[in-house]
Every structure is written in C-alpha cells, then in structure tokens.
Chain A
Amino acid sequence: MKDYEVKKEGSVLTITLGEELAVSNAPALMDELVSYKEQGVEKVVFNATDLQYLSSSGVRVILYCKKYLSANSNIVFVNCNKDVLEVLDLVGILPYITFNNSSSAT
C-alpha cells in the first residue's frame, strides 16, 4: 500500500509520509528514490505530520537520502512527533537532521 508521496520541486525533494515508515512500505519508497539519484537534489524534506511509527527499514530510507540524494547532507523533518524523534535519537542521526514544525519551512 503506497501511503507516501514524493514530489520534486527544483532542488528540493519532498516526501510526505503516511502513518508509518516501516518494512511494509520503506523498500518501495527506497526503490522510488533511486530514480532521483544524481537529479540535482540538494535538500530532502520529510513531512512527518502523520508519521506515528518509524522502523529501522524507515531509518534506512533516511540514511539513503542523506548519503545518495542530498549532496550537502541537507535533511529536514517537518512536524516530527516525540516517538519518531526518540527513534532518530536512538539510531544516532539527530545531528544530521534539521527539524521544523511547519511545512512552510520547506
């Protein structure tokens, strides 16, 4: 079930996530993101407004974006809830992410 949306505007890639980013949808999202490799993406924005659950498969997607899509390691999370924040802290990638509380930040 595809419960995410990927949109590229200029050099900004916006990924609007559904309720979860886990093994059920993360591999498909990853496959889709491969096509944006070397497409001039400078910033990846995850709209996490609806995101309730992030698994290690989901973290893998974020790490992929950081390594292969965003040349300047520019990853932004918008409206990230506390549980998701805890996961990002646990896996040690908080220092590599910018957090915003509104989609206008994109």
Chain B
Amino acid sequence: MLTVLFGNVLKQWSKKLHISPSKLYLPMVYAVQMGGVCTIIGTSTNIVVADLYQNATGKTMNMFSIFVPGALCLLVGVVFIIAIRRWLPERQSPEQAFETATDYTVELLVPSDNPNICKTLGEAGLFHVKGGNLIAIRHFDHDPSYLSEDEFLMGGDRLVYAGQIDEILELKETHNLVVSDHHIRSMNEINKNYELRVAFVNFYSKLIGKTIGDSTIERDNNLILVAVARRGKRIEAAPREVELEAGDTLLFECPRNTNTYVEHLKSMLQFTDFQEVFKIGPKTIVSSLIMTAMMILTATNVVTLLQGTVMAALAMLLFRCCTINQAMDSVSWRALMSLAGSIVLGSAIAKTGIAQKIAFGVISLVGTHPIMIMLGVCLAAMLITQLVENVAVTAMFFPIMYQAAMQVGYDPMPFLLALMIAANASYSTPIAASPNMLVYGPGGYRFTDYMRIGIPLTIIVTITGVAAVILTYPLVKL
C-alpha cells in the first residue's frame, strides 16, 4: 500500500527534479520493506512469526519487539543506498518510453465512413507519416497486402505504424482513424471521453504467452489496446498479435475514471499510473489517532496484538474512516490464503519432525554456537527468500530456527527476530517481494538492476540484523 501511495509522489518529484523515476522507486521500495520490519504488524512475515511463536510458546510478541534491530537495519540500509546513489539504475519509465521512443507499434482502424476511402495510402497521406512508418496493412478479411503507397484504403483496414506514439495518435484526429478492437462503421460511434493508461504485464500474469487478440480482456474491461512496447526490442507485429512476455508495457485507451484496480485485472496487468491517490482530510487524523492508540495499547501489553488490530479495525468502521464495502474490497484473499497456507506449512514441518531433523543438520553443519546457528539459518532463509515468497520462507524456517535454538538450549525469541529480518530481506530480484514487482514496470527496470543493488543490500541488512538482535537481546540459556 505504501509503495502505491509514494509511487505517485515520487513520479511527480522525479519530474520536478528532472531525474529518472527509476532513481527513486527502488530506494523507496527498499525503505518501505526495511521500515515494515520495525513493528510486528509491519509485514506479513512478522505477523506469521509472531503467530507461530505464540502457538509454540503461548507467549505473545510485543508490537515493538523487533523495533531496535529493525530500525538499525533501516538506518544501515538507507546509508548504504545513499552511499551508492550514483549506481542506482537510470532507466526510462514506460510513460517516458511511450513519449519518446521510436520503436513502438500502433494499430489504427479505418472506419467505414472515413473520407479517404477509395484513395490510395499515398494520396490519403497515410503512407509517409510524421514521426513513424507504416509497417503493415491488414484488410477486413485479414488479407495481408503488399505494402505500397498505391494500395487502396478501405473501411475495416488496420494500419500498423511503428514510431512515436504521440505523432501516430495524431492521425486519429487528422485522418479520422480510430483505435478499436472491433469494427467501427462511423466516427460517431466513438466515445471521445477516453484517456490513455499504461499497464505492465505482471510476472505471474495469465496473459504471458498469449496475445491480447486471443484474450477477452479488452471486451471484459472496456479497454482498447493502443500499443505494445518491449524493452530494447522492436516488435514487428500488430499490437494485438504480440505474444506477451512479463515486463511488456501496454498502452490502453479506456473511459475516463475507469477503475483498473479491480482484483481480476490486477492479476494480469499492473497499471502504472498509481491512480489510488488518497485524500488527506479529517478522517486521516481520526485514522492516525486510532492507529497510534492501537500501537500504544499493544506495545504496553494492555491488549494482545489480535485484540488491538480487531479493535482498531472496528474503530475505523465506527468513525467512518472507510465503509464496510471498502474494507471488504481491500482484503486480498490471495494474500490471506497465502498467510493461512504458510501457517499450515509451518505447523506441518514442525509436527512431522522434519524441522527437528533439519535443525540437527544445521547444528552438525555450523556447530553448536548459538550465533553460528542464528547466522546459518538466517543466511539460508535470506537466500531462499530471493526466489520464494517471504511468508512461505518464514513458515518453512520458523520451526527449523525454533528447534535449532531449543536443541542448543537457548531462548528462541532472539533467533526468531533475526529470522524476521532475514526473511524480509528480499531485495535482489523483482519477484522476491510484491513491492519490488510493483515498481518493476513503472521504473522501467531490468531484472539485473535489482541484483546489482539488492544483493549487497540483502547481505548488509541480514548481517546487521543478526548483530543488532544479538546486541539488543543477549542470548540466554533456558
């Protein structure tokens, strides 16, 4: 949520400061993730650790148990990012790319009432166009025609241009062309109240390997595909015929104020315009007060974490900070199922004895020194969390860390706090954490950009986290 909130602000800052948004997005998501580690409810990983800890020991973790080590990691991480700011990737965002690049394809339809019908492409001024080239013409029966300026223009023709988007889209106005997934007989059918939106194909999108022409996404969501761009490569095909890959950026036309943040659309495409701009008003103060009260009550152990969060949620509804429908819509059932599944996985690993066996394996590998055990498990969790969801890694490693600590006779609490930091340190790949993925498209990043900055950051944060936990919570024998 914070990533989405700050995304829009950073986009505006980058414009004001005349720097690429990619210089800001990655530090922002890293800071958001590192900041989240500072409280028990800051990340889903922390919530899972706290819950599994309560199940295993009957004790509850305090809201701010992880604050000092988390804050130290945040401080070190921020200092590291500032120190290496010159090496932050400078990439062109999709919006900039669509504005300036010359290698994007746009498909324009000739409506049946176009005044240039019966003229040749050359006569109609549609062969040589400003800012681009005509690369293909497809007639209504998809008969690909030999590309010549003497080719006749017919209603139903689809003209595929490569070039600068803004220049090519001007042809819509000057030559009565339209962007549409279906045939248009008359220009009067066109709703002029449309706007352009940029979206990017998610890593786990159902659209990967498919073409927009084969999917029903346009019809189902009232979207019209205008163009497709793929970093560094020219796409020699009409946009609707491009087999999509993760990271492809798509330019859509859609009615103004279309809500593109609906769950089924979010699972396929990520719209980069960060439309969720939140208004600051009296309700902001009320919700902030509720949040602060919840923090204080749980930190001082007046109420448990579960009681605190439920009371805060009810207070938010009572003071109309949001409606029940808004609250229900904001629930990510996928994330919830993932959380529940992870807890089941953790229990299964513990109850089947797998955790104990692995814990023995860890001890035989790194020895019985508690710091070595803590560091060994944390490094393993840190490695795996770069490729697997943080929550699942936590669920897998919680019982191992717990058992390992118990085997050597130490209080498992500091070990688990160190695990929280390691499992959250997922900075090295865009697929490691959802905030990383959220800025991949808008920032115009490459996969390796995350590795270059993320690998050293992950190592630094994990080692700092382990050291900070040991300093904050001296390891004590049970």
The number of inter-chain residue pairs (CB within 8 angstroms) is 51
Q: Does the CB pair A93–B154 fall under 8 Å? A: yes
Q: Which residue of B lies closest to A92 (CB)?
A: B155
* B139: Cβ under 8 A from any A Cβ: yes
* Contact status B140-A90, CB under 8 Å: yes
Q: How far is the CA of A101 from the CA of B111 in the complex (A)?
A: 28
Beyond A56-B143, A59-B154, A60-B152, whether A91 also contacts B117 by CB under 8 A is yes
Rounded to whole angstroms, the CA-CA distance of A23 and B144 in the bound complex is 11
CB proximity to A under 8 Å, residues B102-161? 110-114, 117-118, 120, 139-141, 143, 145, 152, 154-156
Bound-state CA distance A87–B155 (Å) is 10
Task: For A92, list chain B residues within 8 Å (CB).
Answer: 110-114, 117, 154-156
Which applies to chain A's interface (DSSP): helix, strand, loop or mixed? Answer: helix
Specify which of B112, B120, B145, B185 is in contact with A56 (CB 8 Å cutoff).
B145
CB contacts (< 8 Å) of A36 on chain B: these are: none
Q: How distant is the Cα of A99 from the Cα of B113 in the complex, in angstroms?
A: 19
**B183: CB under 8 A from chain A?**
yes
Contact A56 B140, beta carbon cutoff 8 Å: yes
55-82 of chain A: CB within 8 A of chain B: 55-57, 59-60, 63-64, 66-67
Give min CB distance, A75 to chain B, whole Å: 10
- Of the four ranges (under 10, 10 to 19, 20 to 34, 35 or more), the interface on chain A belongs to 10 to 19
Question: Roughly how many angstroms separate A67 CA and B185 CA in the complex, as a whole number?
Answer: 23
**Cα of A57 to Cα of B151 in the assembled complex, Å:** 11
Cα distance A23–B143 in the bound complex, in angstroms:
9
Which of A23, A63, A64, A67 lies in contact with B154, CB distance below 8 A? A63
Complex CA–CA separation, A87 to B120 (angstroms): 19
Contact B156 A91 (CB under 8 A): yes
> Pick the contact of B118 from A67, A89, A90 — CB < 8 Å?
A67
Q: In the complex, A18→B137 CA distance in Å?
A: 27
Q: Using Cβ atoms and an 8 Å threshold, which residues of chain B touch A90?
A: 112, 140, 155-156, 183, 185
Min CB–CB distance B350 → chain A (angstroms): 67
Contact with A along B77-116 (1 / 0, CB 8 A): 0000000000000000000000000000000001111100
Chain A residues with Cβ below 8 Å from B110 are 92
CB neighbors of B among A17-73 (8 A): 23, 55-57, 59-60, 63-64, 66-67
Tell whether, in the assembled complex, residue B155 and residue A55 are in contact, meaning their CB atoms are under 8 Å apart: no
Render A91-104 as a binary contact track against B, CB cut-off 8 A, 1 for contact.
11100100000000
**Given A63-B154, A67-B118, A91 and B112 touching (CB < 8 A)?**
yes
State A71–B439 Cα separation when bound (angstroms). Answer: 61
Which residues of B lie under 8 Å from residue A96 when comparing CB positions? Answer: 118
Smallest Cβ-Cβ distance to A64: which chain B residue: B152
A63 near B118 with CB under 8 A, answer yes
Q: Which 7 A-B pairs have the closest CB atoms?
A: A92-B155, A56-B139, A92-B112, A91-B154, A92-B117, A63-B152, A91-B155
Residues of A within 8 A of B (CB): 23, 55-57, 59-60, 63-64, 66-67, 87, 89-93, 96
Interface residues of B (CB under 8 A from A): 110-114, 117-118, 120, 139-141, 143, 145, 152, 154-156, 183, 185
7 A-B pairs with CB atoms under 8 Å apart are A59-B154, A67-B120, A90-B183, A91-B117, A92-B110, A92-B155, A93-B155
